[in-house]
Copies of this chain bind each other. A is one copy, B any other.
Amino acid sequence: MHLVTTTNKVKENWGGKYFTLEFIRDPKKLVKDWKKEGGIVVHLTMYGVPIDKVIDKISQINSKILVIVGSEKVEGWFYYNSDYNIAIGNQPHSEVAALAIFLDRIYKGEELNIQFSDAKLSIIPQERGKKVIKNG
């Protein structure tokens, strides 16, 4: 899964070495190649089918999933070449929020418990204040 990460320092401290950030010159080629390789393409758009209606089907997909999140002006091509156009609410919203809710549904909330094995730092949850430990 391609996801935008923040700075390398965050990645180095908190893990997640398999996250990469790439700028793609030709996003349509990416979509075509992805599908050729047997991958599934999901486009998150407020015009699509409500997530609740397709999440069961999506959850059963065993192929890799490319998630497209656009802004106001996504070309029609992406609507017609995605396997699923999925709405995280049929109203204007933050794309970051849409991606978060989509991943949350896919992972059934378990994403909140993920610990990256390559993390140098870990948090010990506190009711007040901050507690961070160095791993290993």
Contacts and interface: CB of A to CB of B under 8 A. Distances in A.
Interface string A93-136: 01011111100100001011110100100110111111110000
A49 interface: yes
A114 B89 CA distance: 8
A38 interface: no
A18 interface: no
B79 A128 contact: yes
Contacts of A99: 97
A88 interface: yes
Given A94-B100, A104-B104, A47 B89 contact: no
A8 to B, nearest CB: 12
